[in-house]
């Protein structure tokens, strides 16, 4: 039985940049009695990390390329949290092991292709074994997912809802995050193919309508920001939660944007992303870009201390408009490590709805995880409520 396993949580990839921050968070905040372990491919580095943290936890050797070691890892824990990416390269064997073992799984992927391929390969197995496979448990995509759920909970039930999400952030990427962005850009065709395959086999609820709207560049007056359509994993996660939960209403539409303060910043962001996208299409230039932020590198503590994020939502339902906000500190690392750790702790310790298979944070954990994050300093609040004209 899962309850009889040696560990409540195993953190895989604990000595990487984000993995170390997650281990530090668990060392400081895991409740007494939580049985957790550090895992990775280098036992010496794992022991050094454990000694530096001053915690009495086990270290477990496992390698992303060794399915047998991953199977042992999954079979010995109730929850496995992994920071080993890009997940499209390294992630599938661990998901397979967790699905087969009935072990809950959380990661930090921002890779839509990986999530779609995981659904195709392992969702049915996880449903059978009871495993909850929860992707995107960091800055991608907890603020939009739980923020979207929080927003619709402020509106009357049973009504059509049109929601727009606006993400703003300041911070520097690590080498791993930058590599993931380049990988996503380079694999756009295979990602689109995986998404089509998923949509062909994914069950559809014909009694409700849930759809994404690309949106256009515009000035969002309620939040005083210029908005650019943002194609990422975030809107896909929000829409999957909306399809799974009737609370999103009979007709739900979502659009996702980057929000910036002025037209010059909007133009700069557009040109910068377009340039990186173009360079990422070719192996030589992609390798050159990777050297700008090598694997294992990341922002300093001082740089992280000035970083922040803010996710704002504007939702219309009937004659009511509500504006909400989710906000926190360093999005890519400090808050992401917090979100991943609290997701694992939530699955391990909290009474939650009975779910299995590939599920989102809103579906698997919902208000329980939001409460944890609020207690840990991430804010969810209503900014404004407006009555629209009849």
Q: Which residues constitute the domain of residue 240?
A: 142-331+378-387
Phi, psi (5° rounding) for residue 76?
-100, 0
DSSP sequence for 83-152: ----HHHHTHHHHHHHHHHT-EEE-----HHHHHHHHHHHHHHHHHHT-EEE---BTTBHHHHHHHHHHH
Looking at the fold, whether 258 and 152 belong to one and the same domain comes out as yes
**Does residue 167 sit in the same domain as residue 24?**
no
End-to-end CA distance of the chain: 57
- Same domain? 205 vs 227: yes
- In contact, 307 and 328? CB cutoff 8 Å: no
Question: Do the strands 320-328 and 308-317 form a parallel or antiparallel pair, or are they unpaired?
Answer: antiparallel
Three-state SS at 209 = strand
**Do 317 and 367 fall within a single domain?**
no
Q: Give the closest residue to 238 by CA, choosing from 330, 162, 180, 345.
A: 162
- Domains held by the chain: number: 2
On whether both 148 and 262 belong to a single domain, the answer is yes
Counts for the chain of helices (H) and strands (E), in that order: 16, 15
CATH of the domain at 306: 3.30.360
Per-residue pLDDT of 116-165, as tens digits, reads: 999 999 999 999 999 999 999 999 999 999 999 999 999 999 999 999 99
Residues 152 and 269 reside in one and the same domain: yes
Q: Give the closest residue to 145 by CA, choosing from 357, 370, 317.
A: 370
Quick one: pLDDT at residue 185? 75
Q: Report the relative pairing of strands 320-328 and 379-387 from DSSP bridges.
A: antiparallel
Q: Is the same domain home to 98 and 179?
A: no
Q: Choose among 172, 173, 140, 184: nearest CA to 286.
A: 184
- Give the pLDDT confidence of 296-317 residue by residue, as tens digits: 567 788 888 899 999 999 999 9
* 263 shares a domain with 128: no
Whole-number Å distance between alpha carbons of 295 and 1: 38
Please state the pTM of the whole predicted model.
0.92
Q: Are residues 250 and 115 in the same domain?
A: no
The CATH number of the domain holding residue 14 is 3.40.50.720
Give bridge partners of residue 113 from the DSSP assignment.
Answer: none
d(CA 211, CA 151): 17
Residues 218 and 243 in one domain: yes
**Is residue 324 located within the same domain as residue 352?**
no
Q: What is the pLDDT of residue 170?
A: 87
> pLDDT digit of tens for each residue in the chain (390 aa)?
566 899 999 999 999 989 999 999 999 999 999 999 999 999 999 999 999 999 999 999 999 999 999 999 999 999 999 999 889 999 999 999 999 999 999 999 999 999 999 999 999 999 999 999 999 999 999 999 999 999 999 999 999 999 999 999 887 766 666 667 777 677 788 888 999 999 999 998 889 999 999 889 999 999 999 999 988 899 999 999 999 999 999 999 999 999 988 766 656 666 566 556 565 575 766 676 566 666 656 778 888 889 999 999 999 998 899 999 999 999 878 999 999 999 999 999 999 999 999 999 999 999 999 999 999 999 999 999 988 876
Same domain assignment for residues 25 and 126: yes
């Amino acid at each position: 039985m899962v309850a009889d396993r040696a560990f409540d949580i195993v953190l895989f990839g604990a000595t990487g940049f984000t993995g170390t921050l997650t281990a530090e968070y668990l060392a400081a905040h895991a409740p007494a009695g939580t049985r957790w372990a550090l895992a990775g491919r280098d036992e010496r580095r794992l022991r050094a990390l454990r000694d530096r943290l001053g915690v009495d936890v086990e270290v477990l050797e496992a390698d992303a390329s060794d399915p047998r070691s991953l199977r042992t890892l999954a079979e010995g824990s109730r929850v496995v949290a992994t920071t080993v990416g890009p997940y499209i390269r390294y992630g599938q064997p661990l998901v397979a092991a967790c699905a087969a073992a009935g072990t809950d799984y959380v990661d930090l992927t921002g890779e839509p292709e990986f999530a779609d391929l995981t659904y195709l390969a392992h969702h049915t197995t996880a449903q059978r074994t009871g495993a909850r496979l929860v992707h995107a448990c960091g800055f991608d995509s907890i603020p939009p997912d739980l923020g979207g759920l929080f927003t619709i909970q402020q509106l009357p039930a049973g009504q059509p809802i049109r929601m727009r999400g606006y993400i703003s952030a300041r911070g520097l990427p690590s080498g791993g995050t930058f590599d993931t962005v380049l990988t996503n850009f380079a694999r756009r065709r295979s990602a689109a193919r995986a998404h089509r395959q998923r949509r062909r086999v994914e069950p559809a609820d014909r009694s409700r309508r849930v759809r994404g709207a690309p949106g256009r560049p515009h000035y969002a007056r309620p939040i005083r920001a210029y908005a650019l359509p943002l194609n990422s994993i975030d809107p896909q996660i929000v829409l999957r939660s909306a399809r799974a939960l009737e609370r999103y209403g009979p007709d739900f539409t979502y659009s996702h944007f980057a929000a910036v303060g002025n037209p010059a910043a909007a133009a700069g962001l557009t040109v910068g992303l377009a340039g990186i996208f173009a360079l990422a299409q070719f192996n030589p230039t992609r390798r050159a870009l990777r050297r700008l932020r090598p694997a294992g590198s990341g922002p300093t503590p001082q740089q992280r201390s000035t970083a922040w994020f803010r996710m704002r939502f504007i939702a219309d339902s009937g004659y009511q408009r509500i504006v909400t906000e989710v906000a926190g500190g360093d999005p890519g690392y400090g808050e992401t490590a917090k979100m991943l750790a609290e997701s694992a702790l939530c699955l391990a310790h909290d009474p939650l709805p009975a779910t299995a298979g590939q599920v989102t944070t809103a579906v698997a954990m919902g208000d329980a995880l939001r409460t944890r994050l609020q207690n840990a300093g991430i804010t969810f609040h209503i900014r404004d409520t407006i009555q629209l004209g009849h």
